[in-house]
């Protein structure tokens, strides 16, 4: 007899910023249990599914007891007796039960916790690792992007670009690439300290030195790569997330590093960075979430030169993704399951991207948990790329450790993702 869902229950736990979040258990009729924890973002797009918070005085209004209660009552009742192996049906039941276009009634944090936990329970019942249950045999270890210098909303410093990342290019295995990044990260710490800056960490484990501008951050990364014994752009590349919505103004201008700039001036600025730092391989959200026209214009001018990722504009929402594809406003999509609220819709977003020759980058959130779910999801879906923070703080490193376990389990069948212009030595 096939197992069915016996009980769905949730509890309030805490994320890496000390804020409440939802953890859910899905228990099957034979006692098998799947558990999942939901992260929370700080730099959020206005079109993200609603993260239900309690309001009021307790925990600064950020409590999630309402979302937890929705799991323990309505969602538990609706899913009782259903098969955990039909994920699309499970997710649709919760979407219909919520009845809003953005999961505002039950909370996307409640729905996603149950959606993820259901896949874990089903995988355990099948005696399969999660990545195998979700992905079958077509599996691939992604290229990692590590946020090693934090700015913008992730740090209290003078840098307006939000994330500066390192990515391993020439590597013989996942472990080899990760070791290159770890080595460079420690060299970066020495350079920052030698320059007289603090080596305190931002939300995602990256350093947050109070540099004068973004170019200074890029120069530090270049110097750290060299100091680690690697070649910029050959062994290790650089990427950044501008998160331009954080400095976009209502009048269409951008208040960036002490100056008011037009969209054309921002485009020229980014192009100058590409000229000065040819090791830059990816740029995320160079324009605001409502500035679709200039985003598209920039992609048309530079899309053959660099990967251009959209996040805030599309929020992992298939409807918005279709619009972005029609406009040609990027060539890569950021994938954050908690932006849309179910595993099924996340998978649909990735399929849409692949069907239209867009690359995808799986992503953590700044308020993370120790749950490595997105590591398994990235391998299962061939997402190709993932960003999970610096190789520091356990909630970030645990994702990378999970990839190491998966690589070991796959053995000789392990495949590495690469950009088309990158060197594969595997």
Cα–Cα dist 373/327, whole Å: 32
Cα–Cα dist 256/260, whole Å: 6
251 assigned to a ligand binding site: no
336 assigned to a ligand binding site: yes
Q: Are 67 and 52 in contact (CB under 8 A)?
A: yes
Collapse the DSSP code of 110 into the 3-class scheme (helix H, G, I; strand E, B; otherwise coil) and give the result: helix
Cα–Cα dist 2/33, whole Å: 15
Q: Which residues pair with 362 in a beta bridge?
A: 335, 386
311 assigned to a ligand binding site: yes
Collapse the DSSP code of 410 into the 3-class scheme (helix H, G, I; strand E, B; otherwise coil) and give the result: helix
Structure tokens given for 121 = 């329970």
103 assigned to a ligand binding site: no
Q: Which residues pair with 232 in a beta bridge?
A: 236
Global confidence as pTM: 0.95
366 assigned to a ligand binding site: yes
9 assigned to a ligand binding site: no
Whether residue 336 lies in the annotated active site? yes
Torsion of CA 351, 354, 358, 362, to 10 degrees: 60
Q: Which residue has the tokens 């879906």?
A: 381
Q: Are 323 and 352 in contact (CB under 8 A)?
A: no
Q: Are 182 and 400 in contact (CB under 8 A)?
A: no
162 assigned to a ligand binding site: yes
Q: Are 404 and 175 in contact (CB under 8 A)?
A: yes
The pLDDT profile of the chain, 426 residues, written as one tens digit per residue, is 689 999 999 999 999 999 999 999 999 999 999 999 999 977 566 789 999 999 999 999 999 999 999 999 999 999 999 999 999 999 999 999 999 999 999 999 999 999 999 999 999 999 999 999 999 988 999 999 999 999 876 556 678 999 999 999 999 999 999 999 999 999 999 999 999 998 888 888 999 998 988 999 999 999 999 999 999 999 999 999 999 999 999 999 999 988 999 999 999 999 999 999 999 999 999 999 999 999 999 999 999 999 999 999 999 999 999 999 999 999 999 999 999 999 999 999 999 999 999 999 999 998 999 999 999 999 999 999 999 999 999 999 999 999 999 999 999 999 999 865 443 434
Is residue 1 exposed (0-12), middle (13-18) or buried (19+ Cβ within 10 Å)? Answer: exposed
Collapse the DSSP code of 35 into the 3-class scheme (helix H, G, I; strand E, B; otherwise coil) and give the result: strand
Element spanning 65, H or E: helix 65-70
96 assigned to a ligand binding site: no
Residue in 103, 170, 336, 399 annotated catalytic? 336
The CB density around residue 264, as the number of other CB atoms within 10 Å, is 11
Cα–Cα dist 344/316, whole Å: 11
Residue in 6, 23, 48, 204 annotated catalytic? 204
Query: Residue 71 gets which letter from DSSP?
Result: I
Element spanning 167, H or E: strand 163-168
Rg (CA), the chain: 21
Cα–Cα dist 333/336, whole Å: 10
Pairing of strands 20-28, 33-37: antiparallel
Half-sphere exposure of 333 (CA within 13 A, CB side): 31
Whether residue 204 lies in the annotated active site? yes
């Amino acid at each position: 007899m096939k197992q069915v869902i016996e009980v769905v229950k949730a509890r309030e736990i805490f994320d890496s910023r000390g804020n409440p979040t939802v953890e859910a258990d899905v228990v099957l009729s034979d006692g098998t249990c799947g558990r999942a924890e939901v992260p929370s973002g700080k730099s959020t797009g206005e079109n993200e599914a609603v993260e239900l918070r309690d309001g009021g005085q307790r925990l600064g209004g950020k409590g999630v007891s309402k979302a937890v209660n929705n799991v323990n009552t309505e969602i538990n009742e609706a899913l009782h007796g259903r098969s955990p192996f039909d994920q699309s049906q499970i997710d649709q039941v919760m979407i219909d039960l919520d009845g809003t276009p953005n999961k505002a009634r039950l909370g996307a944090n409640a729905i996603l916790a149950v959606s993820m936990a259901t896949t874990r329970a089903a995988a355990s019942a099948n005696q399969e690792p999660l990545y195998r249950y979700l992905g079958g045999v077509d599996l691939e270890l992604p290229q990692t992007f590590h946020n090693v210098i934090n700015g913008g909303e992730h740090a209290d410093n003078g840098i307006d670009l939000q994330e500066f990342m390192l990515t391993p290019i020439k590597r013989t295995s996942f472990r080899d690439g990760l070791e290159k990044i770890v080595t460079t990260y420690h060299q970066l710490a020495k350079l920052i300290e030698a320059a007289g800056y603090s080596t305190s960490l931002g939300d995602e484990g990256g350093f947050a030195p109070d540099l004068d501008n973004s170019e200074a951050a890029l120069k530090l990364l270049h110097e750290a790569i060299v100091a680690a014994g690697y070649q910029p752009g050959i062994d290790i590349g650089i990427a950044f997330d501008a998160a331009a919505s954080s400095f976009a103004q209502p009048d269409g201008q951008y208040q960036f590093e002490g100056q008011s700039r037009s969209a054309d001036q921002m485009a020229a600025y980014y192009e100058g960075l590409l000229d000065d730092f040819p090791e830059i391989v990816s740029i995320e959200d160079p324009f605001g979430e409502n500035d679709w026209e200039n985003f598209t214009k920039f992609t048309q001018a530079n899309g053959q030169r660099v990967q251009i990722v959209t996040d805030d504009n599309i929020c992992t929402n298939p409807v918005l993704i279709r619009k972005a594809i029609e406009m040609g406003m990027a060539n890569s999509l950021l994938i954050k399951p908690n932006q849309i609220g179910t595993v099924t819709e996340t998978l649909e977003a990735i399929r849409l991207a692949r069907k239209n020759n867009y690359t995808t980058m799986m992503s953590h959130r700044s308020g993370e948990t120790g749950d490595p779910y997105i590591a398994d999801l990235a391998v299962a879906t061939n997402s190709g790329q993932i960003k999970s923070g610096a190789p520091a703080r356990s909630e970030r490193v645990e994702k990378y450790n999970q990839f190491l376990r998966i690589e070991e389990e796959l053995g000789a069948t392990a495949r590495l993702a690469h950009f088309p212009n990158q060197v594969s030595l595997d």
